[in-house]
Structures are given as C-alpha cells and as structure tokens.
Amino acid sequence: MQTPNGILPVDKPAGWTSFDVLAKLRGALGTRKLGHSGTLDPMATGVLAVFIGKATSAADRQLDHDKTYEATLRLGQRTDTGDITGTVLETTPVTVGETELHAVLPRFLGEQMQLPPMYSAVKINGQPLYKAARKGQTVERTPRPITVYSIDYLGSPAPGDYTLRIACSKGTYIRVLAEDIGTALGVPATLAALRRTRAGVFTIGQCHTLPEILAAAEAGALADSGWILPVETVFAPLPALTVNDGVKAHLFNGCPTSHYAAADGRYRTYDQAGQFLGLAAVTEGVLRVEKLFCERKEKADADLSCHDAGAGPAGVRGGAGIL
C-alpha cells in the first residue's frame, strides 16, 4: 500500500495511550511518520486525529483547537489522579444532587485560570509533571488561562454519577474541572468516564475504531475508504486561492509575488488542477508561501527565478496572478 498523506480520525479505545494508537497504526499505514493532535488520557475514549505523512506538519497549524467532551463526574470520591484509575484518597457520603449541581455549573463558564494537575504531561523545567507525581512529589505550577464555552447536563447514569457535555478551549483539564465542581458542591469528586466527541474540525461521527481501520488496511481498502481526510480539512475556515503555474513555481521556490490582486490575509492555495498546495498569505499586495503540503512534481518550476515573481495590474507578469 502506498503511504497516504492525510488525517485519519480515530475513535480511541479506553486503556490505550495516544502513543499506543500511533504505534499500532504504523505498520497498518506503512509509515513511521505519524502524529496526533490533542492527547487523550488512557481512560478516555473518542476523537483522536492522527496526522499521516506530510500532514504531520499541519497538526500544530490547526485553526480550531477547541474540544467537546462528555464527562461523568463521580461525587463523594477523591483520587490522586483526578479520575477513577487512581488511588482513592477520600470517600464521603453524598448529600447533594441534580438541583445543587445545576446551581453551581454556571460558575464554571467563561474565561478562567486552571492549575494543571500533577498527573499530566505538562513540563516544568523540562520534566513532565507525571514523573514527579509517581515519586510522590508535588511541583509548583502556574495556573493557565482556559475558556469553558458551555456545560450541558446529560443525566445521571448511576447514583452519585452525573454526566455533562463540556465545550472548552485547548488545554482544559476535565479532571481538574470535575474536582473543582465537587469543591463548589462541598464534596470530593473525580472523573468516572470521559469521551471526546469533537476535536477542532473533527467529530466523533467521522471516526473509526482501531479494529475497523486495521481490517480495512489488511484488506488493502483503507486508501480507497474515504476515511483518510485531505490535509486541507484543518484549514477549511480559510478562503481558497487558485494560482497559475507561474505563481505555483514561485510558491515552491519561496519567492514572493508582488502586486498580487487579492485582499490581505491567509489562504488555502490550489493549482489549476485543484491540487492543494499549502498555506500562503497576502500582506500589502505581496503573496508569500507559509507552508507547502504537496508533492513537487515539475522540476522545471524551480528554474523560474525570484526576480520574475512580480505581477502587474493585469496579474500576468512573470506568469503570476489569480486565475
């Protein structure tokens, strides 16, 4: 199977780390060049966008990093990790319920500062916090800004357990939010279950399970399945710009195109055949490449010199211009 370039939304299973998922997929996809966006805890399930081949460099350039989770809080219990995989440190009788929960949830909406948990991959002085936590150490941390856009109550699957749908910004720790909600209720709390239903532009409806993906790969059908999304998917909010062959050559060479007849801003760029080339930006009439994601096929394009990169009023000098 030819190594694909693109993004594969995976429904991560419980008990797997995000790295475990990549390790399992390397053989199936025929490449070691894999990355992911938005690490999930081993207990968590749901959307994990896996970036393949040339698409790996798009992971940190996504325009939308917001997330949506379905989280089940367990009241009356506190653990060292903030979820039920940890050691129970405290249990108390639960004397509050849905009414009290509804009353405190509005306090957690909007912009706020959140202290990263000790059991996390956040690095302090180059050392992940979880390594210190495993040694029983506590490291001084600095609260970080987060935003919680909405919290919807979804019901109580078991006595003392309450499920919420939470839409939030990148960097929000739902385990910490669960503990903070418990504090507001006057009882300890921990996270009993967590499922990510959206990560940026990717939704749970686009995801496939590991068994499905591995079976399709073994049958040689993964490349034609439509499951691997094109890299430009993450840049969909940007306007599209189609360029001719002259400007395409300049983009490949890193040459600016002056007097370019397009509004200032960032663009998804395509050639005349509709192939996605990459990201470019126009500033004060000058078009410059930001990042290319395509395979270069025409060596002759490299021979067009940078000093021919101007575009006159008709947008045709040096072969440049909008088509």
CA-CA distance, 249 to 276, in Å (whole number)? 14
pLDDT of residue 28: 86
CA-CA distance, 73 to 164, in Å (whole number)? 8
Shared-domain flag, residues 85 and 57: no
Shared-domain flag, residues 243 and 227: no
More confident residue, 4 or 149: 149
Residue 223, phi then psi, degrees to nearest 5? -60, -30
Residue 1 within any structural domain of the chain? no
191, 169, 185, 174: which is closest to 105 by C-alpha? 185
Q: Check whether 1 has a pLDDT greater than 70.
A: no
Shared-domain flag, residues 96 and 179: yes
pLDDT-above-70 percentage for the chain: 89
Find the CATH number of the domain harbouring 212.
3.30.2350.10
**Token reading at 138:** 């506590």
Q: Check whether 197 has a pLDDT greater than 70.
A: yes
CA-CA distance, 121 to 119, in Å (whole number)? 7
| Residues catalogued as catalytic | 41
Shared-domain flag, residues 215 and 283: no
Average pLDDT over residues 295-306: 46
Q: Check whether 129 has a pLDDT greater than 90.
A: no
Shared-domain flag, residues 192 and 243: no
Shared-domain flag, residues 152 and 134: yes
Average pLDDT over residues 143-169: 97
Shared-domain flag, residues 212 and 302: no
pLDDT of residue 59: 87
Shared-domain flag, residues 49 and 133: no
Residue 285 within any structural domain of the chain? yes
Q: What single letter denotes the amino acid at residue 218?
A: E
Q: Check whether 196 has a pLDDT greater than 70.
A: yes
Shared-domain flag, residues 79 and 52: no
Shared-domain flag, residues 95 and 195: yes
Per the CB < 8 A criterion, the answer to whether 118 and 130 are in contact is yes
Neighbours of 149 (CB within 10 A): 14
Identify the domain containing residue 192 by its residue range.
67-199
Average pLDDT over residues 224-233: 92
Shared-domain flag, residues 153 and 177: yes
pLDDT of residue 4: 75
CA-CA distance, 230 to 151, in Å (whole number)? 32
Q: Check whether 146 has a pLDDT greater than 90.
A: yes
More confident residue, 312 or 232: 232
Shared-domain flag, residues 24 and 115: no
pLDDT of residue 3: 66
Q: Check whether 312 has a pLDDT greater than 70.
A: no
CA-CA distance, 237 to 229, in Å (whole number)? 16
132, 135, 102: which is closest to 118 by C-alpha? 132
The segment with the largest mean pLDDT, out of 107-111, 229-233, 273-277, 305-309, is 107-111
Find the CATH number of the domain harbouring 314.
2.30.130.10
Average pLDDT taken over every residue of the chain = 87
The segment with the largest mean pLDDT, out of 2-11, 50-59, 168-177, is 168-177
Residue 296 within any structural domain of the chain? yes
Res. 264 pLDDT band, cuts 50 70 90: very high
Residue 93 within any structural domain of the chain? yes
Residue 127 within any structural domain of the chain? yes
Average pLDDT over residues 305-318: 34
pLDDT of residue 297: 57
pLDDT in tens, 27-54: 888 888 999 988 898 999 999 999 998 8
pLDDT of residue 314: 29
Residue 146 within any structural domain of the chain? yes
Q: Check whether 288 has a pLDDT greater than 70.
A: yes
How many independent structural domains does the chain possess?
3
Q: Check whether 301 has a pLDDT greater than 90.
A: no
Res. 285 pLDDT band, cuts 50 70 90: very high
pLDDT of residue 136: 77
pLDDT in tens, 61-113: 888 899 999 999 999 999 999 999 999 999 999 999 999 999 999 999 999 99
